[in-house]
Amino acid sequence: PAEGEPLLLIKKYMPRAMVESPLRQIVEIGSIKEVPGLITDHYGRLPGTMGLEFDVLPVKQFNFYRTIFPSVKFVDASASILKTRMIKSSWEIEQMEKTAELSRATFAYIKEIIQPGFTEIEFSGIIDTFSRKHGHGAQLRIRDYQTEGYTWHILSGKSGGLVGLLDSPASGEGTSAAFPCGAGNKILAADEPIMIDFSAVMNGYHMDETRMFAIGSMPDKALKACRAAIEIHDSVLKKVKPGVSTGELFLHAKFMAESLGYAEYFLGPPGYKVSFTGHGVGLELVEPPFIAKGKKDLLETGMVFALEPKMVFEGEFSAGIESVFLVTEKGGRLLSKVPAEIFIC
């Protein structure tokens, strides 16, 4: 609240709330309709203005709140909440470093077991099983309306050259038209580029990382593109410091792609390019601010980003890298513990 101590109202389950919440004022309720009366009892009155997250609140629920708070003015608090979450505390960074260790172990495991013959979706299941055994919370939090989070974004060979509805340079084939993105039924083969975009979550905090793999060898065209992506990644990281705008980082990544001869493929094929090369990450997999075209958000100490310069060769393959970094007073510090390299297994 704008004034006074916060009040947590719990419909289910009070004993657990008492253990898990640090708040002092916790009250059990039997119905949401009790909320206005309890707010009045604790604060002496109802607020004149109440903030709700309009970007994710269904209209049906909003209309319900209007019926139980008829005198209250509702405003959109989404931007304020997300702005607060942009800056991570030392405790939050510690949680993300734990998730980064899980991700490091998972990529090391991938390197050990990857071989021809698995379908993309089958191999994804093996990776997912390993990560869950080691603490992965499994469910990725995605804020966008009707967007589903998943860990199985494995694109091998031509699958990496498929664009689709996903707000990403490449969508992949997916398992069917009902879920047309991510790993599909294509079989992993030797001597082809394999993009593995793996996201993990522990204690509510996410990591989002991509590395390129190949079994045996990687075609020269793909290898050069992967190396260019790493060069862009490293160059952007050197530009990170408080006060630099996210739009500047985007323009630098775009400039590097053009300088290296990959403008046509950077962030998607012509006509289907995405407008970002990075995003915030934390309690949700994708959060503001965005390293994107035209953005003016200034980097601040404590911000955490996933940086993902990627290229799509339509009908052929994808190449790229994605790492998570923290903005510090001295510049960018990688939270990712997976080496920024190409894995030939």
The residues spanned by each domain of the chain are 7-83, 85-344
Banded model confidence at residue 237, pLDDT cuts 50, 70, 90: very high
The matching CATH number, chosen from 3.40.350.10, 3.40.50.720, 3.30.505.50, 1.10.150.530, for 7-83 is: 3.40.350.10
User: Which structure tokens are listed for 241?
Assistant: 């410091």
Region at 341 (left for phi over 0; alpha for psi -120 to 50; beta for the rest): beta
Banded model confidence at residue 99, pLDDT cuts 50, 70, 90: very high
Name the β-bridge partners of 50.
74
Omega before 289 within 30 of 0, i.e. cis: yes
Per-residue pLDDT at 263 exceeds 90 = yes
3-state secondary structure of 155: strand
Distance between CA atoms of residues 109 and 340, nearest Å: 16
3-state secondary structure of 246: helix
pLDDT digits (tens, 9 = 90+) for 65-83: 999 999 999 999 999 999 9
Banded model confidence at residue 2, pLDDT cuts 50, 70, 90: confident
**The pLDDT of residue 3:** 81
Q: Decide if 167 contacts 134 (C-beta within 8 A).
A: no
DSSP 88: P
Q: Decide if 194 contacts 188 (C-beta within 8 A).
A: yes
Distance between CA atoms of residues 105 and 11, nearest Å: 39
Residues in the chain, overall count: 345
pLDDT digits (tens, 9 = 90+) for 160-178: 999 998 899 999 999 999 9
- Within 51-202, residue ranges assigned H as helices are 59-68, 78-86, 90-113, 120-133
Distance between CA atoms of residues 342 and 218, nearest Å: 10
**The pLDDT of residue 87:** 98
What contacts 271, CB < 8 A, 6 or more positions away? none
User: Which structure tokens are listed for 108?
Assistant: 């090391």
Long-range own/partner contacts, residues 303-306 (CB < 8 A, 24 or more apart): 303/86, 303/87, 303/88, 303/327, 304/88, 304/93, 304/96, 304/280, 304/335, 305/278, 305/279, 305/280, 305/281, 306/208, 306/209, 306/278, 306/279, 306/280, 306/281
Distance between CA atoms of residues 271 and 109, nearest Å: 37
DSSP 157: G
Overall average pLDDT of the 108-117 stretch: 98
For the domain made up of 85-344, the CATH class stated in words is: alpha beta
% pLDDT > 90, the chain: 94
